[in-house]
Structure 1
Amino acid sequence: MNKTFTPSSDADLAPFNRLESEVRSYVRAFPVLFDRGLNTTLIAADGREYIDFFGGAGALNYGHNNPAFKQALLDYIERDGIVHSLDLATNAKKAFIEAFEKHILQPRGLEYKLQFPGPTGTNAVEAALKLARQATGSSNVVAFTNGFHGVSAGALAATGYKDFRTASGISLANVTMLPYDGYLGEGIDTLDYFEKLLDDPNSGLDKPAAVILEAVQGEGGINIASTQWLRRLRELTKRHGILLILDEIQAGIGRTGKFFAFEWSGIVPDIITLSKSLSAYGTPMSLVLIRPEIDVWKPAAHTGTFRGNNLAFVTAKAAFDVFWSDTKFQDEIARKSAVLEGELKTIADAFPALGLSVRGRGLMFGLVCDKHRTFASAVSKEALSRGLVIETAGSYGEVVKFMTALTITEGDLRRGLGIIRDSISTLAAKFN
C-alpha cells in the first residue's frame, strides 16, 4: 500500500461536483475516485489501495466481486439468461426460491411466503407496512427512537432521523414513536410504557397494525435490543393482536453472526424485510417474508418494474449454496468477531481520557465517544488519510461504525484496526 492517501484530484472529481445533485453524501466523506474492488480492498483510479471497513453500508457482507459468485453471474450473462422479468417465472428465480427454502427457512423451522417488491430496502418496508395495515384494518404503526427504515414516505414516517424527516416536505403520519431498548438508560424497561399504553383504553394510542424495529440498530449507532426485551415485545404484540415486523435490511444476512439478527432472541416475527446484502454482489434486491395467514394481497396490489432482478437471484442463490449450507461460515464470523471486539476494547482502554466504549455483535460494532460528538468523524477522516474507509453513525455521529465484509481476512482486519488505533493516537491530544 502507498503511504499517502490524499483525496483524488479536483479534475477527477470535477464532473461530480459540477453536475451531480447536492444530495450526494458519501463522496463528501470519502473524496476518492474508486475504480475496482476485491473482497475488502478498494482500489482508486490512481492505483492506491484502501481497506474497506464501510462495506457498502451493509450491502457487501460477502465483499467486493466475490469469486464464488462472479463466475455464476458471468456464465448467466454469457448464455443470455433473462435479466428483467417483473414477476414472471424464471429459472433463476425458481433456483433462488428453492435455495432460500432449503438453506434459510427449513433449518430454522420458519414458514413464510416470499414477496419480491421493488429493489431497495425502503421498497420492502413500504410493502410490509401496507400489508400489515391491510391485514389488520388498522392504520397506526409503532416504531422506535433512532430507528432507520428508509426515506420514501411510508418508511420515513417510521424513521427517527430529523434531517431525513425534514427533507420529506410533507407531514409524516400514522406512526407512534416509542423508546427503544436502553433509550432511557440502564435499569429501565421501555416496554413498561408501551404495555401501559396498550392496556389503558384512554391512553390515546390508536391500536397499531404493526410494530416495526431493527434487532440491532445500525444507523442509530449500533444499539442492540436485548433478548429479554425482544421476547417481551413479541409476547405483547401477540397478546394484543399486533403484527411484528423485523427490519433485517442492514443487520441481517449474517451481519450479527446468524443469518437473521433476531435469531439470537429466539422470536419469530410475522413479517421480515430483507435487502442490502441479500443479492450477495451489491446488485439491488429486496424481499419481504410474510407469515402465510396474513398474505392477504390481491394480484397486482403492490407492484414494481424492477421486482425481478435475475442477476441478483443468481448471485444470492450461489451465496446460500456456498456460505449457508452448514455452520462453517457462522463459526468464522464468530472467530473474527472475537478479534474485532477484543481489539476495540483494547483501543478503548488505551485512551481512558476519551471515555470510549464498545458495543456490537458479530461483525457489526461501534466505537462510541459520547464525550466528544465530533470525535468519530475526525477518526473517519484521519483513517481515510491512512488508507481505511470507515463511516460514522448515531444521533450525533458519535459512533465509529465497523461494517467490514464478513469475508475479511484476519490480516486485513487487524491492519484496519491498527489504522484506527494510529488515527486515535494522532487525534487524542486534540480531544483530551
Structure 2
Amino acid sequence: TMLPAFFRPLPLLGALVCTSFAAEPTLRPDGHVSSRSFVDQAQIVSNYQKELYAHQSGLRIVQGIGYAVYQCNESTPEENKAGQVARMAVFNILNPTATAKWIDIAKAGDSSGGITLGGTFVSAPMIHALGEETLRIFFTGRQEGDPGSAYRAFYRDYHIATATLSELHPLRCTIAKQPDKVLDLTQAALQSHLDFLFGAGTGASFSKGISTACDFVEFDGHLYSTIQIKNSQDGQTRLLTNILMRSADQGATWELLGAPDPRLLTTEVKILAEPVITQDKTHVYLHLRSNVIETGYMLSKAAKTDLYHFDAPVTKWTYGIGRPTLCDFGKPIGLVALFTAPSVSMGANTVTRNKCDVVQIDSHYQTYTKAFSIVDYNAVNTPFMHLYRDEVYVTYTTGRRRLLPKFGTSEVVFSKLRREFFVSEE
C-alpha cells in the first residue's frame, strides 16, 4: 500500500530546500518541531568514508557553494593527534552530501613559500571570504625548532575559479602599540603582548600554544578576530584568554589589541575561550565560554575609543561548555545564539554535548531568552552559524558513526536555522 505523502521519507534534496514541512505546524513553546527539523535536515559534508575524527568547523557560502573548513584525522578518533589535517569541504548548499568534495588545506610536512610545517599535525582552521573570488584559510601549527605543537599561525588562499591553493604564508602581527615592528604571529609574540597588557611576567604563564578560534568580522574599515592563547597542567587547560586583533590587509597582518583578563574569574579554572565578536556604534563585545558550569557563558566588552581595555567578564547564560556561536537575523528576530546545554540522557549511547539552547539576545545584551532547544542524539557539538542572503546556515560536529561516543566528533554536518522557527506564519 502507498504511504500517505507526509509519512514518506523526504529525499535528500527535499529535506533541505522544502520549507513547507518546517513551516506548517504552529510552533509549540518547546520548539520541538523546530529542533527536529533542524536535526533531520542536517547532511554530512565531511569525508565520513575516510575520517575517524572531524571537528571544529567554520563556514562560508559564496554563490550558493558552501565551504566548510574543519580539522580531521584518518588514523585516530582523538583530537590534536598525529595525522590531523586541516581540510575543506566544498558543496552545493541545495544538495550537500551528494555534491561534497574535499581539499586538504594543510598537514604536517607541507612545504611551500619557504615554509615547512613541522611536528605531526596542524589544527584550528578558520575561514574568511575575500569577496567572491578568494577564500583565506587560517590555521595553527609549528616549524622546526618551535617549542610547541600549535606555536604559530599560517594562512593559505583558495582561489575559487581555479580551485587552487596558494603557497603557505606566515601570519604577521604588531604588538604593544609598536606599529613599525612587524613580527610573526607566534606564541612568543602573544606572550610579549600579554606582558604589555597586564604586566611583566604575565605572558610566561600562557605557554601551551595558540589557536585561531574566533570567526572573522568586518566593521569600521577593518577585519577583526581574536587569537587564543592558553596554559595547561596534566593535559587539562587551566588558563586561557583571547586577544582582540584587527587587520587592514584582510588578515595577513594583525594589530594586537586588548584581551579580557581570565585572572578576574573566581573559579579555579580560568578560561575565556572561543569567542564570538559582535559590535555596535560604541563597543566591541566578546561572547565567551568559561568551561565552568558556575560561570557559564560570559560577556566582556571594550569601548571602541579604547580597544586595549576590556571590562570584567559577566555571566550571561548557564553551562558555558562548548563553543558559542551567534548570528543577527535582523528584525524582528534579532541576535540569536547557540549555547551548548547540559546533555540529555538517551539511553546507553548518550553522548556529551547532545543539546544546544537557541537563545535570543536583546540589542543591549541585557535579556537572554531561550527560544527552544536542539537535541541531536548523535551530538550537536561546536555549532557555527553563517548568514548568507538573509538566511542562517549552520555547520556542527556530530557522531553518527559512534567512533567517539563521548563527544560525537566523527562528522561535520550542514543545516539551516530557519526564520520560521522563531516567527510562526500566522
Normalised by the length of structure 2, the TM-score is 0.29
More strand by share: 2
| Structure of higher RCO (CA pairs closer than 8 Å, 6+ residues apart) | 1
Normalised by the length of structure 1, the TM-score is 0.28
